[in-house]
């Protein structure tokens, strides 16, 4: 199996540096453009099916990439973004910070000290469900000779990749949040450990 894992295209909230989490925000014009460019670059990849987070920004990205193809797109809750609880929709820029500075610093730069906001989700929970997705998909006999697309989010994508490599919580982000429409490629043979072949490839 070959798996192309992509972070969704840009949204208005991405542009303003606001926390989206489970908020259902669609792509902006630039996000659609980036997804379409990525789709053109991947036009010769023989995708058999796609799995996507149920949130519109991830679904729309998958639709842009697979435009003109008869490829089934399946929603999977395990690919949804981390919930930021009461801080959803809040911005975190220096000039417009609406969340506690230490809290947001921990999330991006000291994840080992990150504590979920009230009503939010922990990184432990994100890693558990994304690992479950990866193990499930890689074990499916009917997908062993297939190429699939996985459309997800920044934090959830990190959970997926961290599930197949040895890493400590301190290194959760492994160099930073993936850019919008960045693609990582994983190969997996049933019964064997998945292999990360390429990470955060940009096609624009």
> d(Cα 35, Cα 200) in Å, to the nearest integer?
14
| CA–CA distance, 45 with 48 (Å, rounded to integer) | 9
Angstrom distance (rounded) from CA 198 to CA 168? 20
Catalytic residue among 29, 75, 81, 170: 81
User: Quick check: is 8 catalytic?
Assistant: yes
What does DSSP assign to residue 169?
G
Q: Is 81 a catalytic residue?
A: yes
Q: What's the chain's Rg over C-alpha atoms?
A: 16
* 89 Ramachandran zone, left/alpha/beta (phi>0; psi -120 to 50): left
DSSP 62-130: HHHHTTTS---EEE-GGGSPPP-GGGTT-BBSSTTB-S-HHHHHHHHH-GGG--PPTT---HHHHHHHH
Residues designated as active site? 8, 81
């Amino acid at each position: 199996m070959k798996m192309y894992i992509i972070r969704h295209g840009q949204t208005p909230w991405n542009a303003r540096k606001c926390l989206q989490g489970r908020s259902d925000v669609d792509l902006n014009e630039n996000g659609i453009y980036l997804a379409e460019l990525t789709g053109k670059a991947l036009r010769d990849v023989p995708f058999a099916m796609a799995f996507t987070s149920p949130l519109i920004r991830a679904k729309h990205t998958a639709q842009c990439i697979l435009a003109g193809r008869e490829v089934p797109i399946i929603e999977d809750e395990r690919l949804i973004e981390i919930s930021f609880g009461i801080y959803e929709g809040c911005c975190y820029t220096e000039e417009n910070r609406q969340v506690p500075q230490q809290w947001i610093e921990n999330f991006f730069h000291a994840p080992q000290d990150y504590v979920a906001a009230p009503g939010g989700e922990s990184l432990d929970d994100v890693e558990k469900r994304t690992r479950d997705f990866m193990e499930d998909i890689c074990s499916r006999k009917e997908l062993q000779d297939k190429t699939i697309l996985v459309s997800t989010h920044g934090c959830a994508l990190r959970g997926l990749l961290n599930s197949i490599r040895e890493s400590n919580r301190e290194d959760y982000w492994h160099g930073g949040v993936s850019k919008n429409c960045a693609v990582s490629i994983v190969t997996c043979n049933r019964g064997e450990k998945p292999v990360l072949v390429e990470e955060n490839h940009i096609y624009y």
